[in-house]
């Protein structure tokens, strides 16, 4: 057996003659256990909150979204549609139109996005699952589904047929405008449902049939502002995007769900990094206690070390004794902390011990990535702390 490791193991499992050193070593070990457990639980909780936050946008954002790089709309030919269907990684796709329009209802107005969708949209996105009241719109009808925020702003509920809900879209063209009818295309629509997801999304969209949106914007039947795609779980998004660009002669751009929510992902990643750094700082402060315990043990074992040195053991070997001892304490403490953290997370997942609301448990996610992050952090900082403390063993000290 390696001589420094053997001595380090003996020092770790045996108690020092000084009760103060034993107490400090125990506190350091407990700090490592609690630090590892707390860091893992916090990362698991944040992973759950992150997944919960992104779930709101997942119902409205596809796996891939295609838009034109040359203008607000583009045409899709029957040949291009056939080529898209040949791509096996694509599970479903839907043509859409998005345009900012004006809605009027009983003297109240709201400017928001009209989103025209075809009958295949429900196979690409799960927006209909977010219905708060009413029903989802039927194809080839003047029906619309509003966000809860828009509904509140207009004081309009589902199936409100007493007064018309009017939608106005500016007409394309040139020349002098002499009256409002020349400036806008107008249509009367029927609100049949209200969806509720989040404050931002509830104020953003009014869903309508694709043909209604095309008529308002004076688009052709094969003219859309975008195509949304649902991919198979094992699909390579980058490879699918390249195939789609080739079909449309590189005149389109494609964005993934993460790219569509770039600011949200950046915010969540920044928050996760900040939380990780804060708890890492706490662990660093805890490991100062470990370094102090090792230094006190070096002083306590000074006579034994002098004897070993006089017998021919090199200084670097004596330093390795305490490096190994600190590493053993860190590794054992880290694994115990991980076991405790895993138990806490699994109990929350299965038994919902902590609740946000009476019907909603605090979200947590158990994943291997968080385990690796915690163990790597604890082991790295523990070894560095032990290395610094063991450097106190010197020829001057022993003489």
SS (H, E, C) 53-119: HHHHHHCCCCCEEEEECCCCCEECCHHHHHHHHHCCCEEEEEEEEEEEEEEEECCEEEEEEEEEECC
Q: Report helix, strand or coil for 226.
A: strand
Q: How confident is the model at residue 117 (pLDDT cuts 50, 70, 90)?
A: very high
N- to C-terminal Cα distance for the chain?
28
Does the structure show a pLDDT above 80 at 322? yes
The C-alpha atoms of residue 261 and residue 57 are separated, in whole angstroms, by 8
| Confidence at residue 107, expressed as pLDDT on a 0 to 100 scale | 87
Q: Report helix, strand or coil for 230.
A: strand
Does the structure show a pLDDT above 70 at 180? no
In sequence order, what are the residues at sequence separation of 6 or more whose Cβ sits closer than 8 angstroms to the Cβ of residue 337? 32, 33, 34, 35, 36, 37, 38, 40, 374, 378
Does the structure show a pLDDT above 80 at 293? yes
Report how far Cα 253 is from the mean position of its chain's Cα atoms. Answer: 24
Question: Exposed (0-12), middle (13-18) or buried (19+): which is 324, by Cβ within 10 Å?
Answer: buried
Q: Which segment of 103-107, 182-186, 212-216, 253-257 scores lowest on mean pLDDT? A: 182-186
| Confidence at residue 358, expressed as pLDDT on a 0 to 100 scale | 84
- Beta strands, E only, the chain: 64-68, 74-75, 90-105, 108-117, 131-134, 143-147, 165-170, 184-195, 205-209, 223-224, 226-231, 252-256, 355-357, 360-361
Does the structure show a pLDDT above 70 at 162? yes
193-204 pLDDT, tens digit each: 999 888 888 899
The C-alpha atoms of residue 135 and residue 159 are separated, in whole angstroms, by 9
Answer whether 112's CB lies under 8 Å from 203's CB: yes
Computed over every residue of the chain, the mean pLDDT equals 88
| Confidence at residue 248, expressed as pLDDT on a 0 to 100 scale | 95
356-373 pLDDT, tens digit each: 888 888 899 999 999 999
Nearest partner of 374 among 348, 337, 329, judged by Cα: 337
The C-alpha atoms of residue 301 and residue 174 are separated, in whole angstroms, by 93
Does the structure show a pLDDT above 90 at 377? yes
Query: What is the token pair recorded at 205?
Result: 């969209």
Q: How confident is the model at residue 51 (pLDDT cuts 50, 70, 90)?
A: confident
| Confidence at residue 53, expressed as pLDDT on a 0 to 100 scale | 77
The C-alpha atoms of residue 145 and residue 123 are separated, in whole angstroms, by 17
Question: Exposed (0-12), middle (13-18) or buried (19+): which is 351, by Cβ within 10 Å?
Answer: exposed
Nearest partner of 276 among 265, 287, 268, judged by Cα: 268
In sequence order, what are the residues at sequence separation of 6 or more whose Cβ sits closer than 8 angstroms to the Cβ of residue 191? 134, 143, 144, 145, 146, 151, 156, 157, 158, 159, 160, 165
| Confidence at residue 178, expressed as pLDDT on a 0 to 100 scale | 57
Q: Are strands 184-195 and 143-147 parallel, antiparallel or unpaired?
A: parallel
Q: What is the mean pLDDT of residues 58-76?
A: 90
In sequence order, what are the residues at sequence separation of 6 or more whose Cβ sits closer than 8 angstroms to the Cβ of residue 2? none
Query: What is the token pair recorded at 327?
Result: 């590493």
Answer whether 64's CB lies under 8 Å from 228's CB: yes
The C-alpha atoms of residue 150 and residue 156 are separated, in whole angstroms, by 8
Q: What is the mean pLDDT of residues 188-215?
A: 92
């Amino acid at each position: 057996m390696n001589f420094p490791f053997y001595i380090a193991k003996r020092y770790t499992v045996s108690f020092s003659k000084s009760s103060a050193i034993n107490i400090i070593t125990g506190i350091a070990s407990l700090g490592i256990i609690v630090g590892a457990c707390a860091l893992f639980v916090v990362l698991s909780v944040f992973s759950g909150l992150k997944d919960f936050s992104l779930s709101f946008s997942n119902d409205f954002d596809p796996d891939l979204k295609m838009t034109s790089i040359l203008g607000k709309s583009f045409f899709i030919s029957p040949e291009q549609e056939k080529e898209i269907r040949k791509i096996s990684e694509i599970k479903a796709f839907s043509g859409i139109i998005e345009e900012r329009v004006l809605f009027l209802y009983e003297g109240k107005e709201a400017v928001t996005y009209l989103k025209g969708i075809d009958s295949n949209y429900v196979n690409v996105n799960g927006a209909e699952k977010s219905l708060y009241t009413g029903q989802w719109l039927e194809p080839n009808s003047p029906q619309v589904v509003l966000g809860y925020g828009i509904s509140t702003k207009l004081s309009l509920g589902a199936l409100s047929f007493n007064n018309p809900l009017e939608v106005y879209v500016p007409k394309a063209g040139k020349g002098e405008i002499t009256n409002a009818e020349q400036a806008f295309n107008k249509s009367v629509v029927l609100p049949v449902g209200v969806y509720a997801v989040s404050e931002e999304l509830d104020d953003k969209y009014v869903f309508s049939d694709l043909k209604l949106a095309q008529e308002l914007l004076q688009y052709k039947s094969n003219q859309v502002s975008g195509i949304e795609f649902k991919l198979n779980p094992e699909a390579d998004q980058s490879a699918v995007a390249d195939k789609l660009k080739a079909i449309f002669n590189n005149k389109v751009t494609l964005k993934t769900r993460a790219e569509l929510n770039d600011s949200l992902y950046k915010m969540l990643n920044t928050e996760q990094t900040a939380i990780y750094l804060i708890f890492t700082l706490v662990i660093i402060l805890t490991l100062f206690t470990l370094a102090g315990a090792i230094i006190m043990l070096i002083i306590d074992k000074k006579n034994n070390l002098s004897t070993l040195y006089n017998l021919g053991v090199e200084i670097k070997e004596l330093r390795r004794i305490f490096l190994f001892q600190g590493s053993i304490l860190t590794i054992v403490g880290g694994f115990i902390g991980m076991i405790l953290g895993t138990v806490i997370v699994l109990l929350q997942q299965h038994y919902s011990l902590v609740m946000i609301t009476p019907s909603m448990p605090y979200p947590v996610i158990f994943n291997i990535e968080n385990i690796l992050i915690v163990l790597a952090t604890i082991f790295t900082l523990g070894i560095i702390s032990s290395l610094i403390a063991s450097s106190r063993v010197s020829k001057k000290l022993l003489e």
